[in-house]
Amino acid sequence: MKSIDQLLWENAAKYGEEAYLYEKVGDFYRAQSYAGFYRDVLRFARVLRKKGLEGKKIGIYSENSCLSMAADLAVLGYTGISVALSEYWDGKQLLEICGSLELDAILYAPGREDSLRLLRERFPSLCLLSLYELQRESMRLPEWKYAAAARRSFSGAKYEYAGLYNNTFPPGRWASQSENGCVKIVFSSGSTGEPKAVMLSLRNIFANQENTFQRAPIRHTDRAYLFLPLSHTFGEIGNFLYSLISGMKIALSSRKDRILSELAELHPTVLCAVPLVLERIYRISEETGKSISALLGGNIRFLFSGGAALRTEIRAAIKSERINLIEAYGLTETASIISLEYSYQSHDISSSGTVLENQSVRIAKPDSDGIGEICVKGDNVFIGYYGREDYYRSCFDRDGYFHTGDLGFLRGGKLYLKGRKTRMILRSNGQNIYPEELEQCLRQALSLDRAELSEEGGHIHARLYSGELPEDGLLERVNDILPKYAQIESVELLRKQDPRQWK
């Protein structure tokens, strides 16, 4: 397995000063080259090591940016453990996280000083360094030497690229982290309880690369539009880290309310999205008559959907335009991916993709329909929950399979999701009800913003979120839509509006 340093070096050798990352400054995108990005990563790593942070836990508290991406690789590739801190966390949440993880440092985006005030007071020894300070300190380092002794070339490189090491750190002495040790901590979504600190190794992170690119042969000429936060594995691994292998270029979203306008501006060929975004685009297409392909920029080669199930009618609409929609399923604990569909499977609008060949998946305690808990084993499965070793071990069975907590079934190598194990409702007649499936049905039939089904006092209660749905006769309308075995006894209509606006 290649190290982060090897991957960065090869890209710098192949593509040099060609643009790699695009970040909007004002109204225009500014490009950073492959070589320039590599230089920043090495310089940042050297600053962090000079501060005594080798082997330490270092949080990254920032929106997506070229600086935060370089800092992330400087930590997980050369220095210690990179801890993904959500840009949406406030001071109290950071205080709790910092205490539980015993962080040694936080690299933060400018403008977040107020959120860090509590940390400064509670943990005076904690190293707090803004990304701008990190950049300035890196530029004040002694002159880097471009000596022949510092030249290296790897297989596939078109030419040798001058290294950026000085005599203190000759090539190969400190460039690689262990493949099996923890280099990344990402917090799970908390769908099964409070968020947990998931520990990932380089082996975990890159275990799925071969089978991912078999399904989606992304290349150097592709350009992705990245709006997913890098504090989550779907954005971090699939969008960013795997670009080190494919050489794919990345354009960063400047703001969530500019997604549509920036897609039209950039015409990306790769987009990783979540169902919420694709549902919005589908709705706008229905309202305006503009094609989904045009709304996506008109140039998409690979459209990935993950994080939750995408409604079947939206999948059918996207595929009817011959867009290469690729459904993905995975967890933070499985380095983002368990199953991923092959390209151009136009007939499939219901599965969560084909299980990756480097993994073994089985269904635990299947019912008469073959539905049970999805269990997985492979090099992509995480190495621990920080500070919760007993709980980590309890998630595995005696054969070494990780129990995901998700329910589903296998058919012909394809994985079909039914919902969360903890959300399954067992009726008194023995009938299993999977709320996610029925909620999707209600959202589609009633054009809801959201639907939630839950068991309360032995009965099924529905909460429907809509700003336009009339209340009269609502219980009867809902039950006309739902199957007989899942009839609800009560319904609650909430006039909650989604604050996110699209342009």
Q: What is the CATH number of the domain that holds 439?
A: 3.30.300.30
Cβ neighbours, 10 Å, residue 153:
13
SS3 content of the chain, % helix, strand, coil (to 5): 35, 25, 40
In a domain, 14, yes or no: no
328 pLDDT higher than 90: yes
Provide mean pLDDT across the span 105-110: 96
In a domain, 55, yes or no: yes
Q: Which of 129-133, 275-279, 338-342 has the lowest mean pLDDT?
A: 275-279
* Same domain? 386 vs 462: no
Q: Which of 342-351, 410-419, 423-432 has the lowest mean pLDDT?
A: 423-432
**In this predicted structure, what is the pLDDT of residue 176?**
65
Whichever domain contains 304, its CATH number is 3.40.50.12780
* Same domain? 402 vs 290: yes
Q: Does 204 or 143 have the greater pLDDT score?
A: 204
Burial class (CB in 10 A: 0-12, 13-18, 19+), 211: middle
134 pLDDT higher than 70: yes
What domain range is 50 assigned to?
Answer: 19-177
**In this predicted structure, what is the pLDDT of residue 391?**
87
Grouping H, G, I as helix, E, B as strand and the rest as coil, residue 444 is helix
**In this predicted structure, what is the pLDDT of residue 172?**
44
Q: Which residues contact 43 (CB under 8 A, 6 or more apart)?
A: 138, 139, 141, 164
**In this predicted structure, what is the pLDDT of residue 99?**
84
Contact 195, 187 (CB under 8 A): yes
* Same domain? 373 vs 250: yes
In a domain, 8, yes or no: no
Residue 439: pLDDT band by 50, 70, 90 thresholds? Answer: confident
Whichever domain contains 54, its CATH number is 3.40.50.980
**In this predicted structure, what is the pLDDT of residue 171?**
44
Provide mean pLDDT across the span 123-134: 95
Query: Could you report how far apart the first and last alpha carbons of the chain are, in Å?
Result: 43
Provide mean pLDDT across the span 144-151: 38
Mean pLDDT for the chain? 87
In a domain, 501, yes or no: no
Contact 342, 352 (CB under 8 A): no
Domain boundary among the residues 377, 399, 422 is at: 422
Residue 450: pLDDT band by 50, 70, 90 thresholds? Answer: confident
In a domain, 435, yes or no: yes
In a domain, 183, yes or no: no
**In this predicted structure, what is the pLDDT of residue 150?**
37
Provide mean pLDDT across the span 441-470: 86
What type of residue is 462? A
pTM higher than 0.85: no
79 pLDDT higher than 50: yes
Q: Which of 120-129, 218-227, 454-463 has the lowest mean pLDDT?
A: 454-463
Q: Which residues contact 120 (CB under 8 A, 6 or more apart)?
A: 126, 128
* Same domain? 28 vs 172: yes
User: Got the DSSP string for 374-422?
Assistant: EEEESTTS--EETT-HHHHHHTB-TTS-EEEEEEEEEETTEEEEEEEGG
**In this predicted structure, what is the pLDDT of residue 194?**
61
Q: pLDDT tens digits, residue range 282-327? A: 999 999 999 999 999 999 999 999 988 888 999 999 999 999 999 9
Tally of domains within the chain: 3
**In this predicted structure, what is the pLDDT of residue 155?**
36
Where is 40: in which H helix or E strand? helix 34-50
Residue 432: pLDDT band by 50, 70, 90 thresholds? Answer: low
Burial class (CB in 10 A: 0-12, 13-18, 19+), 272: buried
Percent of the chain whose pLDDT exceeds 70:
88
Report strand pairing: 339-340 vs 223-226. unpaired
Distances (CA, A) of 72 to 176, 202, 231: 14, 13, 10
Domain boundary among the residues 422, 440, 469 is at: 422
Question: What is the Rg, in whole angstroms, of the alpha carbon atoms belonging to the chain?
Answer: 24
Q: pLDDT tens digits, residue range 178-193? A: 899 999 999 986 444 4
Contact 123, 98 (CB under 8 A): yes
* Same domain? 433 vs 417: no
**In this predicted structure, what is the pLDDT of residue 151?**
39
**In this predicted structure, what is the pLDDT of residue 26?**
92
* Same domain? 235 vs 299: yes
In a domain, 331, yes or no: yes
Q: Which residues contact 407 (CB under 8 A, 6 or more apart)?
A: 371, 372, 373, 374, 417, 418, 419, 420, 421, 424, 434
d(CA 264, CA 476): 43
Buried b / exposed e along 396-433 (16+ C-beta atoms within 10 A): eeeeebbebbbbbbbeeebbbbbbbbebbbeeeeeebb
- Give the residue carrying structure tokens 């305006």: 288
